[in-house]
A and B are shown apart, each in its own frame.
Chain A
Amino acid sequence: DAGVIQSPRHEVTEMGQEVTLRCKPISGHNSLFWYRQTMMRGLELLIYFNNNVPIDDSGMPEDRFSAKMPNASFSTLKIQPSEPRDSAVYFCASSPGTGRETQYFGPGTRLLVL
């Protein structure tokens, strides 16, 4: 199994630009999570999808952030417009169910907004 795939691995952009992060979960997993990791705030859950439906987006910082999951094998996290404070590592994770099942993390996208 290829594991969770994220692209790009690194992104450098200028303030105000649109950023799109991509995630391919493990085949057969029906839960998908987007996290943000920073030194100051640690790991934060941004949004949770179950069976392609957003269940909890309470962690999305503001309207500049949006996420979609058009099918079971693809999800995007978009920031428009980006700001320097969005600089962080963004992780996608998937799991085969809900609750106590293990979450499998992708390698992350390191975003730097100048």
Chain B
Amino acid sequence: AQSVTQLGSHVSVSEGALVLLRCNYSSSVPPYLFWYVQYPNQGLQLLLKYTSAATLVKGINGFEAEFKKSETSFHLTKPSAHMSDAAEYFCAVTTSGTYKYIFGTGTRLKVLA
């Protein structure tokens, strides 16, 4: 069975500072990992995904994530936060041959002016 843990339900950063949102996963088989963003009153939008190709994955809006098997992590980063990055971010895991995503509990990012 798979699981996802997102450390920190709320993260605050200053505008221009580094964004780091943490995601650790558990899977007995090679995982596929996703980061989604949810803006207020909207659905979830894919930021990036890892599907066993390059371990450093680049997504939209300047975000990237690195798959680290030894640490079972898939942390999301952005070098410089922008006010428009304020949203809730969800990490999700699935595996080949299954349709089910296991979502983390989400991290709400606040960007301070």
Contacts and interface: CB of A to CB of B under 8 A. Distances in A.
A33 B98 CA distance: 13
Interface in A41-79: 42-43, 45, 48, 50, 55-56
Interface stretch (A11-19, A80-88, A102-110): A102-110
B90 to A, nearest CB: 7
A98 interface: yes
Interface residue SS majority, chain B: loop
B103 interface: yes
Contact of B99 (A4, A48, A107): A48
Contacts of B90: 43
Contacts of B51: 100
B96 A99 contact: yes
B105 A42 contact: yes
B99 A108 contact: no
Scoring B44, B96, B103 by chain A CB atoms within 10 A of each residue's CB, the highest score goes to B44
A6 B95 CA distance: 28
Interface residues of B, number: 24
A34 interface: no
Interface residues of A, number: 24
B43 A55 contact: no
Contacts of A50: 99
A110 B43 CA distance: 11
Contacts of B105: 42
Contact of A99 (B43, B97, B104): B97
Contacts of B103: 42-43
Interface in B22-44: 32, 34, 36, 41-44
A12 to B, nearest CB: 15
Contacts of B45: 105
22 contacts: A4-B43, A42-B103, A43-B103, A45-B101, A50-B99, A91-B44, A93-B44, A95-B99, A98-B99, A99-B32, A99-B94, A100-B51, A100-B94, A100-B96, A102-B49, A103-B101, A105-B36, A105-B43, A106-B43, A107-B42, A108-B43, A110-B41
